[in-house]
Amino acid sequence: MDCFDTHTHSEGKGIHELRAMVEKGIKRVVSCAYYPVEPSGPSTLIDLFRKLTTFEMERGRKAGMVIYAAIGIHPRCIPPGYDKVLEYLEENPSTAFGEIGLETASSAEVEVLEKQLELAKKLDVPCIVHTPRKNKEVVTDKVLEVLQKVGMPEDLVVVDHANVKTAGKILKNGYWAGLTVQPGKLSKEEVKFIVDEYGSERFLLNSDTGFSDEELFAVSDTVEFLQQHFSRQDVEKLAFKNAEKFLRL
Amino acid sequence: MDCFDTHTHSEGKGIHELRAMVEKGIKRVVSCAYYPVEPSGPSTLIDLFRKLTTFEMERGRKAGMVIYAAIGIHPRCIPPGYDKVLEYLEENPSTAFGEIGLETASSAEVEVLEKQLELAKKLDVPCIVHTPRKNKEVVTDKVLEVLQKVGMPEDLVVVDHANVKTAGKILKNGYWAGLTVQPGKLSKEEVKFIVDEYGSERFLLNSDTGFSDEELFAVSDTVEFLQQHFSRQDVEKLAFKNAEKFLRL
């Protein structure tokens, strides 16, 4: 089945690896902005966004893959003078803002998240919102609080890297929940458990595959596994239909 | 035979591709700074250098590969306010400056090359100097003129992407010459022809492999081919000994 990987860092993958993903059915991916060292100035992120929305999309095309660029300030990548980055985002919104969100929920992170959400709301742009490994429940609560405060339309937000404990709460608040299948995050079996519990309607599957040894085929492997347990309609939603709806393609 | 690829953009390769190179004997590479869109400010390059000298070297280690970072302002990547980049280079020199050089030989490019060469001379840092595909002979002459003007010590410079027409002149001027084996650059047979003509003493082999479809194993394939034609001593120089000498490892 064709698959849509809704959260990758495709930059970290070579073109042969992208091709291998396409061969496994992963023909569309979102590539989220992230910089592996803390940026020292705004141009680092602005140029990263320019790279993702031009060069990286073209690299995808060469590999037979459609790459959608999500651009935004990751909580671990807040540069001094980040207002200039917000100005760029306002003038050049991409398919989605991402990944934005909270890592430690420091006041600086909350401020940057709020400003980006307000901008996304104003411009009507979907947002991919990161939650961390550490203190996931506490920080997810904080994310939900910020979303509430900004009054974000539910359809515009996926709260990503949800787990067995946070998925229900995210859905109860009306948002999409992102399920990241990767060692250290979710297993295929946990995805099945979550879909059994909450249905297939509001979940987006992804691998978060990027600069290191992450599994390339997490989404296609998971889709194959889910086909053994759920109807074709349910699996299609998880494989690509929900992604199309969220990103309004 | 163990190989040293003296000019790559390893950032464009996934970790599985880096591992495949190691399996073919390419255990050490130089990763040269280059940004795929024209940087809009100095922090883009400074953060790229920070990424290459920390995160990227670590990514190499994970793949079993030793990555040496070459940092510097590529002629196609001159940002406004590049003086700040020069300050960073002066305070944080890496194994080599690279890739620096000329693409069109515009006055801005010449100025930036000159300033970097002067800094490298002062700090005694080896330089990897790019020459373009287009107008290679004319621009190589210009590179040699700038090197002459700055009075660069011969041992500190490899003039890279040399070809059958430029190799002799580069050597006559005393510098190292870089031989890039890639479709559109040199074939293995041309490398053999050049080594037949000028000996093995002053050449560095590389692939320039990076963000796209370039061949990964260009250096190991070439070394294998050269072993059929030259002595072990000659091939070892081309495979890694010259690189060690140039980079002073």
Q: What share of chain B is helix, strand, coil (3-state, %, to 5)?
A: 50, 15, 35
Per-domain residue ranges for chain B? 3-247
Give the Cα separation of A40 and B68 in Å (integer).
22
Topology of domain A3-247, CATH: TIM Barrel (3.20.20)
Q: Count of A–B CB contacts within 8 Å? A: 86
**Residues A63/A22, Cβ–Cβ less than 8 Å:** yes
Shortest CA gap B106–chain A (Å): 23
Instruction: Among A12, A41, A212, select the one facing B41 at the smallest CB separation.
Output: A41
What are the tens digits of pLDDT across the range A42-54? Answer: 999 999 999 999 9
Q: What is the mean pLDDT of residues A113-135?
A: 98
Q: Crossing angle for the helix pair A107-123 and A136-150, nearest 10 degrees?
A: 40
Q: What is the pLDDT of residue A126?
A: 98
Q: What is the mean pLDDT of residues B20-47?
A: 98
Q: What is the mean pLDDT of residues A166-182?
A: 98
Q: What is the pLDDT of residue A27?
A: 98
Q: What is the pLDDT of residue A198?
A: 98
Average pLDDT over all residues of chain B: 97
Q: Which amino acid is at B94?
A: S
What are the tens digits of pLDDT across the range B202-215? Answer: 999 999 999 999 99
Q: What is the pLDDT of residue B156?
A: 98
Average pLDDT over all residues of chain A: 97
Instruction: Among A16, A41, A54, select the one facing B37 at the smallest CB separation.
Output: A54
Instruction: Among B55, B59, B211, select the one facing A59 at the smallest CB separation.
Output: B211
**Which residues of chain A have a CB within 8 Å of the CB of B33?**
none
**Which residues of chain B have a CB within 8 Å of the CB of A16?**
14, 16-17, 216
Degrees (nearest 5) of the Cα angle A149, A150, A156? 125
Give the Cα separation of A183 and A218 in Å (integer).
10
**pLDDT grade, residue A206 (50/70/90)?**
very high
Contact B41 A40 (CB under 8 A): no
What are the tens digits of pLDDT across the range A48-78? Answer: 999 999 999 999 999 999 999 999 999 999 9
* ipTM score of complex: 0.96
Q: What is the mean pLDDT of residues A208-215?
A: 94
Q: What is the pLDDT of residue B101?
A: 98
**pLDDT grade, residue B23 (50/70/90)?**
very high
Q: What is the pLDDT of residue B195?
A: 98
Degrees (nearest 5) of the Cα angle B81, B87, B92? 135
Q: What is the mean pLDDT of residues B45-50?
A: 98
**pLDDT grade, residue B110 (50/70/90)?**
very high
Q: What is the pLDDT of residue A107?
A: 98
Radius of gyration of chain A (CA): 17
Q: Phi then psi for A100, rounded to 5 degrees? A: -110, 180
Q: What is the mean pLDDT of residues B179-201?
A: 97
pTM over 0.90: yes
Q: Phi then psi for A117, rounded to 5 degrees? A: -65, -40
